[in-house]
A and B are shown apart, each in its own frame.
Chain A
Amino acid sequence: MAISGAQAILGLFQEPEQVAQALDALRAAGFASRDLKTLTDSPYPEGAFGEEPEKHRLFVFPFIGAACGIALGLLITIGTQLAYPIVTGGKPLLSIPPMINVMYEGTMLGAIMFTVAGIIFESRLPYLTGTPYDPRISEGYLGVLVTRASGRLPEAERALRDAGAVDIVTK
């Protein structure tokens, strides 16, 4: 298969052990860990293939959302009451129990919206990188994707094939 000019290369494997071997071989050949990705049809335990854990910042999103939401809740409750103070029947201006209801809703609104946005963003969806893919991955095959492999494609292909790749896909 002609692979000249391609930026990324995908090796398809049938066994997880082969994927681990391929990643070892690619790293030994000088490919950076950040340029190696495994594509699977279900989550494998972290580090199963010897890959370095990919950091994501999903957990930051709900906190930012919650902070924005509670600020909005405070603005609606305390802000409006203080801006337009109307004392009714000598009761306190700020009524804490219903304020907590409103602030809770505001906090949850922000946290939930930001979490959904965070999941989409941190999953990099839609995945429009243009890297090679093979539908057999969804049928149980495993893929090792080497990105930024321009100029070193033959080397990458050799490492993938030596590890037992059943097919090589380029784009």
Chain B
Amino acid sequence: MAHVEPLTRAGTTHDLTGRVGRIGSGSAMLVLGILALAGLIGLILKVMSGPVPLNKWGYTAAALAFLLSTGQGMPVVAFATRLAKGYWALPLRRAAELGAVTGLVTTPLFIVLLFQLPDFFGRPSIWFDWPGGPVLWDSVAMILLTFTGLAMLFVSSRPDRALSTQQASDWPGTGRQWDVLTAGLVVLGAFYLMMLVFVHMYVVSDLGMSLVLGWRSAIIPPYHAVSGLQAGLATTLLVCGALRRFGGLRRYFGLDVFWGASKLLLGLSLLFFYFTWSELLTNWYGRTADEQFLLDLFMFGPYTALFISSVLLNFALPLALLIWNPIRVSVRGPIFVAGLILLGNLIDRLRIFVASWSVAGPLGPHRTFAPPAQYPDALDLLVFVGAVSAVTFLYLLALRFVPPIAIWEFKTGLLLTAERPYLKTEVAVVAKPQ
């Protein structure tokens, strides 16, 4: 095996600054750009054909919820590990923060969807006919979430961007600046999380629950937010796996990153079951006509396959796999499970939003039977693929301006970590400043 030099501070700076703009081939970005453009055309065609029938927006709403859960859930991983001083996560924080670019796609998509909603006057919702609700207030919340995510990315990458200019005015690195930067990122991260769960509530309430007459649940908004955090962590792991494999960053994304994240992933998978089970039990034992209809629509009717797949991919399989040390304490195991969860989240969002929009309409008598399963048409697929491609394109574009790993943060890790002999082995000693 070839000898690998240990990472040094100077070597890290040189290596990572040299990688800026080299990740993601031009041809891949071209393809993604074309797909994104096609998706935009698909969305325009949908809008031009008018809001009705409302069921044509189900897949677009699912795309929005999926991107909100995955891409916009990623920056929370950076915040949580900073708050908890999780040094194992130093390499993945930038990859997580870059997920904030998703907001540049979800924000306009959300606003477009809000304008397709049926009249909310008199409709059971969180707005009680309040002026501006839901279009104005939902839009403001999503814009604020996107702004906060991008601000986190901007602040966090400031020292690294200054490396390329080497101008004192960009970032001289005084003690005060480092203090403000580290404290500021935690504060902004906290606000990001507060906005994210709030936007999750808006999305699932206004684009889901309010469209299904009789759907009253205090479980679904937190369910949507927690499963979104699970998907955000899974997406971060997949991106780290891709950066490790295709970005030449194998030395930086070591076992610790995936092992540490897999424990969180296991915990979040258990939470997925808690919320799903709570929702099921509430409707099962309630057994009112509305609740029987909800069980039929979302769990045991036309979308049974999606419900079972969602539970399998988001809970059962991750649990069955991650309880085993050889899988959890590995690089490929957590990445594989993250892939399952990402697929599970997609299926879950399709289940919730396609089903909700399939019964959307003006106020009237409550339904008792779910309509047949609705399959996507060409425009649905175009918009979905286009939205995901647009996010991937923006992510790769951002990597042309900022290093894939927060250099200053990674170097702090090097500063505080040392290999020390312990009896007959060597252990890593990590200093944790108070």
Contacts and interface: CB of A to CB of B under 8 A. Distances in A.
B198 A104 contact: yes
A38 interface: yes
B144 A138 contact: no
Interface string B3-19: 00000011001100000
A127 B166 contact: no
Contact of A42 (B140, B180, B409): B409
Nearest to A100: B126
A97 B195 CA distance: 17
Interface of B: 9-10, 13-14, 126-130, 132-133, 137, 140-141, 144, 147-148, 151, 155, 158-159, 162-163, 166-184, 187-188, 191, 194-195, 198, 407-409, 411-412, 415-416, 431, 433
A138 B163 contact: yes
B181 A119 contact: yes
Contacts of A137: 172-173
A139 B167 CA distance: 13
Contacts of B144: 105, 108-109, 112
A88 B140 CA distance: 27
B137 A102 contact: yes
15 contacts: A39-B174, A42-B408, A43-B179, A58-B183, A58-B184, A58-B187, A88-B129, A98-B130, A101-B127, A108-B194, A108-B198, A115-B184, A122-B176, A137-B173, A145-B174
Nearest to A54: B176
A133 B172 CA distance: 7
A38 to B, nearest CB: 6
Contacts of A44: 175, 178, 415
Interface centre among B175, B179, B191, B194 (most CB of A within 10 A): B175
Nearest to B409: A42
B175 A51 contact: yes
Contact of A45 (B137, B167, B169, B433): B433
Contacts of B173: 39-42, 137-138
B9 A127 contact: no
Interface string A114-155: 011011001111111001010101111000010000000000
Given A42-B411, A104-B198, A135 B130 contact: no
B179 A56 contact: yes
A131 B173 CA distance: 13
A128 B166 CA distance: 14
A128 B158 CA distance: 16
A111 interface: yes
B412 A42 contact: yes
B interface, by DSSP: helix, strand, loop or mixed? helix
A11 interface: no
Interface string A29-42: 00000000111111
A4 interface: no
A38 B184 CA distance: 20
Contacts of B132: 102
B187 A115 contact: yes
Nearest to B131: A80
Nearest to B190: A62
Nearest to B413: A42
Contact of A62 (B158, B167, B187, B412): B187
Given A109-B144, A112-B151, A123 B162 contact: no
A145 B129 CA distance: 61
Contacts of B411: 41-42
Nearest to A77: B130
A162 to B, nearest CB: 22
A98 B127 CA distance: 5
Contact of B169 (A41, A97, A119, A128): A128
A54 B179 contact: yes
A140 B198 CA distance: 42
A104 B433 CA distance: 34
A44 B182 CA distance: 11
B13 A127 contact: no
Among all A-B residue pairs, the 4 with the closest Cβ atoms: A133-B168, A43-B178, A98-B130, A45-B433
